[in-house]
Structure 1
Amino acid sequence: MTRTRRYTQRKRAAAREGTRERIVEATMQLHEEVGPRATNISAIARRAGVQRLTVYRHFPDETAVFEACTSRWLELHPPPEPAAWACCEAGPARVHAALLAFYRYYRDTRRMWRAALRDEPEVPALQGPMARFRDHLRGVGEALCEGFGKDRNPRLAITLQHGLAFTTWASLEAQGIDDVAKAELVVAWLEGLVG
């Protein structure tokens, strides 16, 4: 009897987890397709093949489901980390490698970034995760700036932060510039400030 009960409990727990995953997956798909602002609980429930009440059983409110969506999306699409360019010489070479890593990341994830940046001001649930990503970029930029020495131009950090931003990548992309040329352009801006 005890084994049967445990087996049934495990089966129910697995079914609950599967339903939760479908809800999170549906939310990610909708965020990318129509944007977070246009994604509501009814649309999530329809896409996941569940009732609205089922969504609320797993997530108390829209903020909770959005946070679960963001966490899962970032697990699937982690932003570049400094280890990827740590082997490059500090200064322009390391900046170039970091920019290329971010630009390739943006290229692969551009639909979600466009939707998130567009809707962020109107969707409070996005503001925390977006602030954390900006903090990550700021940390990357500060570390990269150290490669230019202690007496560097203060505008170097501002220029580098601008170069690391998705909006800069998107603006240069709209002009038909490939990722390598984008990175070279930002490095040239920095070298202009250093030289």
Structure 2
Amino acid sequence: MYDESIVLRRAGVNGLTEHIRSPKQRAYRKVKRAEGEQATRARIVDAAEALHAEVGPARATISAIAERAEVTRATVYRHFPDDESLFLACSQQWLSRQRLPDPRGWDAHDDPFAVLHTGLTDIYRYFRDGEPMLSSVLRDAAVLPARLTEDRLASEREWQARLTRALPGRRRRTVQAAVAHATSFGTWRSLCVDLGLSNRAAVDLMVAMIAAASSRGQHASRVG
């Protein structure tokens, strides 16, 4: 027999249960939404990183990044309102995946030319590992945020300071120029990509060049 009071009581219990559960459900939905947003952001950064290495930052348009990430342009702009924020996220992710040169490990030798050899070997290993991205980024350096260029130059200055500080004739401009030339990605690319040298052969060549510059510096000091 139909009893309206029973139905109303059951509805009240169910409504109360729904009321009790709804905060948890809302929290769960928020978590899932946040996870979805994070996954979307990660796909955008992955797409940008891949395109920067393949075609370079100058030609990695927002439309191309959106297509690779399988999102709309509006979605890209929602996560990254300008090119700089996207470039910085892409750069940070790429660098986090690299084994960067570690100047702290170069000083295990007393011989400054052994330090030089160890340091250049470390730098050239990094250049070879990251060649596609480094080539694209340096080719399109004009479109990159100034902060990225400044960070790269600061790293290069640190490498050069570590490699020159114990060299004979280190204060001479020719010695400093030789070390700066040896630590340049453009120098490595010319020797190892364009001319086909191995990393070891390129390191030996650059160490010999710097040793010659240092020797001339010592000779000039004695004559003076």
TM over 0.5: yes
Q: Distance in 2 between matches of 1:92 and 1:4?
A: 65
Q: What are the residue-to-residue correspondences of 1:37-186 with 2, within 5 Å?
A: 37-121=58-142, 123-125=143-145, 127-148=146-167, 152-173=171-192, 174-186=194-206
Describe the shift of the 1:35–1:179 C-alpha distance in structure 2 as closer, same or farther (beyond 3 A): same
Deviation at 1:35, TM superposition (A): 0.8
Deviation at 1:79, TM superposition (A): 2.5
- Identity among equivalent pairs (%): 36
Whether contact under 8 Å (2:170, 2:214) holds in the other structure is no
Supply the RMSD in Å over aligned alpha carbons. 1.6
Q: Distance in 1 between matches of 2:127 and 2:166?
A: 24
Describe the shift of the 1:182–1:151 C-alpha distance in structure 2 as closer, same or farther (beyond 3 A): closer
Q: Distance in 2 between matches of 1:62 and 1:143?
A: 34
Q: Number of matched residues?
A: 193
- Aligned to 1:80, the other structure's residue is in SS state coil
Give TM-score scaled by structure 2 length.
0.81
Q: Distance in 2 between matches of 1:134 and 1:144?
A: 15
Q: Distance in 2 between matches of 1:151 and 1:29?
A: 40
Q: Distance in 2 between matches of 1:151 and 1:35?
A: 37
Matched residue type, 1:131: E
- Aligned to 2:157, the other structure's residue is in SS state helix
Q: Which has the higher contact order (CA 8 A, sep 6+)?
A: 1
The Cα offsets for residues 21-66 of structure 1, whole Å up to 9 and x where unpaired, read as 1000000000111111101111110000001111011011122111
Q: Distance in 2 between matches of 1:83 and 1:4?
A: 51
Describe the shift of the 1:8–1:86 C-alpha distance in structure 2 as closer, same or farther (beyond 3 A): farther
- Aligned to 2:197, the other structure's residue is in SS state coil
Q: Distance in 1 between matches of 2:133 and 2:139?
A: 10
Describe the shift of the 1:131–1:177 C-alpha distance in structure 2 as closer, same or farther (beyond 3 A): same
Q: Distance in 2 between matches of 1:19 and 1:165?
A: 36
**Gaps spanning 5+ residues in structure 1: where?**
none
Q: Distance in 2 between matches of 1:149 and 1:183?
A: 19
